Structure 1
Amino acid sequence: IEKLGVEFFETVYSYLKQVRQQNASEVEIRRRLEKLVSRASDCFEVDQLLYFEEQLWASESRLQL
């Protein structure tokens, strides 16, 4: 949030969450991110956050079985 600011963080987070569920190509994702922020590499940490969130949900669902 500090790198991107609240508004851009929320935009990038929502975008990445959506496209990761759709299995979009890395090239397509990078192009879109470059239009949203000056350095697409700043979004890597947001992508990591989404990955860890998904891992957490997966482990929680396995525990409930």
Structure 2
Amino acid sequence: MIPPSIKQSTKEERREYVLSAWECLHDCESCGKCRILKGKDAETLYADYIEGKRSYIEITLDIRNNSY
């Protein structure tokens, strides 16, 4: 899935994308999403994207580089 661009999406569409992309699968051994987010809420981590302030990829890279 490609995240909606900030310019061509609404705040709600971006929120829905984040929640869908990071939805818990209840299979931590196979999924690993919780480890990537380090136990933090995806909506909180991606708040700047949802608000239209930063791109999804910028935030994702920060998470990967332990900046969050």
- Shared fold, TM over 0.5: no
Q: Give me the TM-score of the superposition, normalised by structure 1.
A: 0.36
Question: Which is helix-richer, 1 or 2?
Answer: 1
Higher RCO (CA < 8 A, seq sep 6+): 1
Q: Give me the TM-score of the superposition, normalised by structure 2.
A: 0.34
Quick check: which has more Rg, 1 or 2? 1
